[in-house]
Amino acid sequence: MEDRKPAEHRKPAQERTAAEGRAPVQPPHPAQDITEHVGYRLKRSAAALRGAMDKALREYGLTVPQYSCLELLDHQPGLSNAELARGTFVTRQSMNVVLRGLQDAELVSRPRTTDHGRALPAHLTDAGRDRLELARDAVYAIERRMVAAVPQQRLTALLADLDRMTEALGD
């Protein structure tokens, strides 16, 4: 059993190091410090990743949702607005704005009308494919830097744990 000091004698979480045993608090017990919660740490990691990607993608005139859209279309040409929205974790309305920006930049093409249904399939243009290739190198470098912080033997377990947490929340 861990010997814990009273809250008034503990350093704030931001002053403690990993070596000092910053283990997350097990729910449903509230922590004195919200930064000890698993959800907070996940959000902090996601925010750090998003910030690094925003900075890198700015050089290529792209946002994270635009980059994500280009990646999806590279692997699955012809996706609709709704499919792209689901795949990039944005609303359909937000994806409309993303696609409009990509079309205006001539990185994505979509027909004005379609013979079947209402969904307009999106496709990368040659310029879109070129921009994606440039931006992809920068994004993959960020992911390599992030993953390098996790010992290789623990990475597979971490990914499996993240998947289990997602499934536990019904997504």
pLDDT digits (tens, 9 = 90+) for 6-32: 444 444 444 444 434 566 656 656 667
Residue with tokens 């013979």, as numbered in its chain: 115
The answer for residues whose C-beta is within 8 angstroms of residue 12's C-beta and 6 or more apart is 33
| 65 pLDDT more than 50 | yes
Could you read off the pLDDT of 99-127 as tens digits, one per residue? 999 999 999 999 887 666 677 899 999 99
Q: What is the pTM of this model?
A: 0.76
Delineate the domains of the chain, giving CATH numbers in brackets: 36-168 (1.10.10.10)
Q: How many CA atoms lie within 13 A of 31 on its CB side?
A: 17
Contact (CB, 8 A) for 70 and 132: yes
Give the whole-angstrom CA distance, residue 73 versus residue 66: 11
| Per-residue pLDDT at 29 | 60
